[in-house]
Amino acid sequence: MNNAEIVYNGRDNHIELQLRENGVNLVDYAPITRVLVTVGATAIDSDINPQLLDWSGEYLIIKAGLASLSAGAHTVRIETWDIDNPNGVVWTESLRIVVRQ
């Protein structure tokens, strides 16, 4: 997969993403109350595993290497919730990653 993020199972490598709204980088991640990252049948949910996701700075950090994902190529969906978006916002469903052992 070209232009895919590489994830190494059991490693501390992480994926660092800037979310963009209307072509502009999201400036303030503080209002986000929940993040859900779906990788195939695996959900990385901040409500269940908060240690795997961090949005306290200027990026969304996904600690996918610690999520026990199955090896291979995957397409990822990223969703967030906040007070103004109680039904959630889908940021992408086409982030490509390759998980290696």
Q: Which helix (H) or strand (E) holds 19?
A: none
User: Domains (ranges, CATH) in the chain?
Assistant: 5-100 (2.60.40)
Global pTM exceeds 0.75: yes
Residue type, 55: W
Q: What angle do CA 85, 53, 38 make, to 5 degrees?
A: 70
The residue count of the chain comes to: 101
- Provide the token pair at 79: 């969703």
pLDDT digits (tens, 9 = 90+) for 1-50: 579 999 999 999 999 999 998 889 999 999 999 999 999 999 999 999 99
